[in-house]
Structure 1
Amino acid sequence: MANMTLRLPDELHDRVTRQAEAEDVSVQSLANKAIREYLERRSLDADIDVAMGKIKDRYGDVLERLGQ
């Protein structure tokens, strides 16, 4: 496992600490979960963009006519 130092503004660190306490997990565990969820959302967004591009390529003319 790789090590990483994460520097946060005091206010954000306080919020992360409070959230970790509320969820009864470590700050490290909360940060890992947040990063994982962020990356999953970004990956999903990219997949949606690809799918929308394919739809636009295939049905762009129909969508254009429907929009008129």
Structure 2
Amino acid sequence: MTLRTDDELDKALSALAAAEGTSRQEIVRRAVLERYERSRHSARVQQSSERLMDRWSDVLHRLGSV
């Protein structure tokens, strides 16, 4: 895979790689995996919230009506 970067990204990748003592490729790899995990977590939270809202909607409605 070829990754095209602009000057800003190139500078950031180099700085992070130097600071962490790793390769630029590893910095990109970690960033992609972290983003993937965050998106999966957000989806799970959303699904859980929807389930709980369905389950407890009557109680939440009554609490809001008081």
Q: Normalized against structure 1, the TM-score is what?
A: 0.85
* Distance in 1, Cα, partners of 2:5 & 2:63: 49
Match among 31, 51, 54 for residue 51 of structure 2: 54
Which has the bigger relative contact order, CA under 8 A and spacing at least 6? 2
Q: Secondary structure at the match of 1:34?
A: helix
Aligned residues with identical type, % of pairs: 38
> Could you give the per-residue CA deviations for residues 37-56 of structure 1, whole angstroms, max 9, x where no partner exists?
11011101111111001001
Tell me if 1:28 matches 2:25.
Answer: yes
Give the number of the structure whose residues are more often helix, by fraction.
2
* Distance in 2, Cα, partners of 1:60 & 1:13: 50
AA in 1 matched with 2:8: E
Q: Normalized against structure 2, the TM-score is what?
A: 0.87
CA RMSD after TM alignment: 1.2
Q: Counterpart of 2:13? A: 16
**Aligned residue pairs, count:** 65
Where structure 2 has 5 or more consecutive residues not aligned to the other structure, the ranges are none
